[in-house]
Amino acid sequence: MGARRLLLVSNSTLHGGGYLEHCQKQIKDLCGEKVKRVLFVPYALHDRDAYAKMAREKFESLGYGLDSIHESPDPVEAVRKAEAIFIGGGNTFRLLKTLYDNGLVQPIRKKILEDGIPYIGSSAGANVATISINTTNDMPIVYPPSLIALGLVPFNINPHYLDPDVNSTHMGETREKRILQYHEEPNTPPVLGLREGAMLLVEGTKATLQGKTGARLFVRGNSPTEHEPGTDFSFLLTEEP
């Protein structure tokens, strides 16, 4: 796993900014000058043409060309030729189902974990980079053949993590309670709750929390812990999926 280079972002748009604006520096640092074109995976949204147009405009503004995988006659070959991969947000179930339908799970794993090309995932794209999508916030509008995801890291992520509102009269389960329920099941991996504006940079065996906000870490059998930007999360990478 030493070759992997990942940027796992909680959200694509942060309040007060434009699309990917809050993480564009990290994207450029990850891709560098070696990458000329990025392969975009728009499967999480229904209107893939509009999604690709938005992503293309953003990446071109950063100096990168963008090819959308839904425009390719051979998605597997598109992955094999990719210099970098960006998977955007939307519905995680739809995204993972389409990855399975197109036979892309293993080819993407190979490109990221063996060939070491950069991977950028925002929201649903961060979800599918993990062991499974069990801790997504999305509704299962479609059914993938498995909830097992790309397994680029040996833990799960909860993007858009929300803290309980102390002033709310809502009596439903908080995000924290739902994750704790997940950990009531045996052999469940850690879950990193990324707040809006937070992102995790993974370089080989090193993982660092970046962005403007912190994260909440849930480990089965332990109390949740709070972490600020700059936290070294490399210990989460010690058990490979």
Q: Examine the residue annotation and report whether 70 is marked as an active-site residue of this protein.
A: no
Q: Which of 147, 171, 158, 128 is nearest to 224 (CA)?
A: 158
- Of 10, 12, 123, 132, the catalytic one is 123
- Of 72, 160, 227, 234, the catalytic one is 160
Burial class of residue 157, CB neighbours in 10 A (0-12, 13-18, 19+): buried
Contact 216, 191 (CB under 8 A): no
Burial class of residue 109, CB neighbours in 10 A (0-12, 13-18, 19+): middle
Q: Examine the residue annotation and report whether 15 is marked as an active-site residue of this protein.
A: no
Q: Examine the residue annotation and report whether 138 is marked as an active-site residue of this protein.
A: yes
Neighbours of 170 (CB within 10 A): 8
Element housing 9 (H / E): strand 5-9
- Of 138, 146, 227, 232, the catalytic one is 138
Q: Which residues are catalytic?
A: 123, 138, 160
